[in-house]
């Protein structure tokens, strides 16, 4: 992956195991968010290919990738501030539904039923995160932790095969972080495959099944948390000499 003259990601070979939590860590500028953006289809890959369930996806557009079952959250919470909390999650259900322009215009019975279903699904998703009571609130009136949950609910509404989270605990206090960690483990128990990019080592060490370390756009180590923690190259990278 190249930006101008800078190679942000080079020669990456990664595998994500289903129904496990994988964490991608690395110093700032290592290319972690770029990697997520490449997988989401926001940046087309310059060379090489990304495979999802056997299908090449690097030339697909982001919405096609979402429809295939990859959803994500962003480093800085990206809720649709012109919609309320419930509506944000309802948007997440878009790929699972079908009513188009004409049924929308004429408010056909099929569209009405589907809307009803969408609303119910979204409400259930909010309930999982304990936010159902705030369904009608404007998205911006929630706290940071709550907004992150809404963003996650939106991503999960699509029942994605792969959920990617970009720094899910950034900006949260200790208590909120522990709650988030518990939530992620609960999701894993339900069978969700999760990949997260994180800076917070405590979170990573406590919930990740597998850790991948990036530096300068390449993978410098991977393994279970305990191994990676002891890896010399990783330590060096974080200290700045790597």
Given the rule CB under 8 A, which residues bind another protein? Answer: 40-42, 61-63, 65-67, 71-72, 74, 78, 80-83, 87, 90-92, 94-95, 97, 99-101, 103-107, 111, 114-115, 118, 154-155, 158
CB nearer another protein, residue 54 or residue 100: 100
CB of 235 to another protein, least distance (A): 33
- Give the 3-state DSSP-derived string for 122-176, with helices as H, strands as E and coil as C: HHHHHHHCCCHHHCCCEHHHCCHHHHHHHHHHHHHHCCCCEEEEECCCCCCCHHH
CB of 223 to another protein, least distance (A): 30
What's the full length of the chain, in residues?
242
CB nearer another protein, residue 105 or residue 174: 105
CB nearer another protein, residue 90 or residue 234: 90
CB of 164 to another protein, least distance (A): 10
d(CA 203, CA 179): 11
CB of 190 to another protein, least distance (A): 21
User: Residues near 218 by Cβ (< 8 Å), separated by ≥ 6?
Assistant: 9, 10, 11, 12
- Largest interatomic CA distance in the chain: 64
The dihedrals phi and psi of 224, each to the nearest 5 degrees, come to: -70, 155
d(CA 68, CA 90): 18
CB nearer another protein, residue 148 or residue 219: 148
CB nearer another protein, residue 136 or residue 232: 136
CB of 96 to another protein, least distance (A): 8
């Amino acid at each position: 992956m190249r930006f101008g003259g800078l190679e942000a990601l080079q020669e990456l070979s990664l595998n994500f195991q289903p129904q496990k939590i994988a964490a991608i860590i690395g110093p700032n500028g290592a290319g972690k968010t770029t990697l997520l953006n490449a997988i989401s289809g926001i940046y087309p890959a310059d060379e090489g290919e990304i495979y999802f369930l056997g299908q090449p996806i690097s030339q697909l557009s982001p919405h096609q990738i979402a429809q295939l079952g990859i959803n994500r959250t962003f480093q800085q919470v990206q809720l649709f501030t012109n919609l309320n909390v419930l509506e944000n999650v309802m948007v997440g259900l878009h790929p699972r539904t079908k009513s188009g322009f004409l049924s929308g215009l004429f408010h056909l019975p099929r569209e009405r039923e589907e809307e009803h279903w969408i609303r119910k699904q979204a409400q259930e998703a909010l309930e999982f995160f304990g936010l159902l009571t705030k369904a009608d609130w404007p998205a911006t009136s929630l706290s940071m932790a709550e907004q992150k949950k809404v963003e996650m609910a939106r991503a999960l509404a699509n029942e994605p095969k792969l959920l990617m989270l970009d720094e899910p605990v950034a900006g949260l206090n200790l208590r909120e972080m522990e709650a988030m960690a518990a939530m992620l483990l609960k999701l894993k128990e339900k069978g969700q495959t999760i990949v997260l990019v994180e800076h917070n080592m405590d979170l990573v060490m406590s919930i990740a099944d597998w850790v991948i370390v990036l530096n300068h756009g390449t993978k410098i180590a991977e393994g279970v948390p305990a191994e990676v923690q002891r890896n010399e190259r990783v330590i060096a990278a974080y200290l700045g000499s790597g």
